[in-house]
Amino acid sequence: MTIGERILDLIHERNMTQKEFSQKTGIPQSTMSSWKGKKQNPSIDKLKVICDTLGVDPFYLISATESRNTLNNDYLTVYHTDKEFEVLIEYRNMDRDQKNRLMGYIDALKAEKERKK
């Protein structure tokens, strides 16, 4: 399945029309038509807005995997403009003790979340 086909399937699964998708992403409907004919795939600069609109990870669109659960993939996509990116950079700069303390805090937050369920 091509990237364009995956996108079109996701648009359909989300009960979204191509017109709605076009309005949310700024991608012309004529461009989506070329995805149907397998003439082209979306340009890489449009990938983030497409993924944000459809709620999927770019890895799902560009890979051959059928799994959409990004937490079970070997890779996780994080944009440099997201706070997650900043957290990862800070984590990488921490020493072992700081990393252990941070992971302890994360474990405590997860436990609290579970208790609230």
Name the more confident of 58 and 20.
Answer: 20
Segments making up each domain of the chain, as ranges: 3-72, 83-116
The model's pLDDT over 82-95, given as tens digits with 9 standing for 90+, comes to: 888 899 999 999 99
Q: String of b and e for 61-72 (b: at least 16 CB within 10 Å)?
A: beeeeeebeeee
Fold held by 3-72: 434 Repressor (Amino-terminal Domain) (1.10.260)
Sequence length of the chain is 117
List, in sequence order, the alpha helices (H) in the chain: 3-13, 18-25, 29-36, 47-54, 58-62, 83-92, 96-116
Better-predicted residue by pLDDT, 19 or 45: 19
Across 98-113, average pLDDT: 94
Residues 3-23: pLDDT tens digits?
888 898 899 999 999 999 999
